[in-house]
Amino acid sequence: EAGVVQSPRYKIIEKKQPVAFWCNPISGHNTLYWYRQNLGQGPELLIRYENEEAVDDSQLPKDRFSAERLKGVDSTLKIQPAELGDSAVYLCASSSWTGGPSSYNEQFFGPGTRLTVL
């Protein structure tokens, strides 16, 4: 079974340019997450989707960041315009909550997109 797919793996842009990251979650996973990981830090949640609905975007800088998950499958995270401080690894994860006392919402992460803003 294929894991979470992200593209591109690497992106170098100049500041003030727009950039977009794409994520294809594991088939059948209804929950999708975007994280940002700064160098030497743990991942930080930016946004979480349940199907098409963004249920937690409290950490998403809405002045320049946007995300969408049309049809509840693939997702795109966009930054416009990018700033120097946006250089980081952007991770996508997905999970499938089956419910019940013994189930667990394990998150499966993709390899990430490393963004460098010059």
Partner 1 sequence: DAKTTQPNSMESNEEEPVHLPCNHSTISGTDYIHWYRQLPSQGPEYVIHGLTSNVNNRMASLAIAEDRKSSTLILHRATLRDAAVYYCSPNEKLTFGTGTRLTIIP
To partner 1, the closest distance from the beta carbon of 88 in angstroms equals: 13
- Specify the residue, 81 or 111, whose C-beta has the smaller distance to partner 1: 111
To partner 1, the closest distance from the beta carbon of 66 in angstroms equals: 21
Residue 93 neighbours by CB under 8 Å, 6+ apart: 4, 32, 33, 35, 107, 108, 109, 110
**Binding residues vs partner 1 (CB under 8 A):** 4, 35, 40-45, 56, 91, 93, 104-112
First CA to last CA across the chain, in angstroms?
37
- Specify the residue, 93 or 117, whose C-beta has the smaller distance to partner 1: 93
Do 43 and 35 contact (CB within 8 A), yes or no? yes
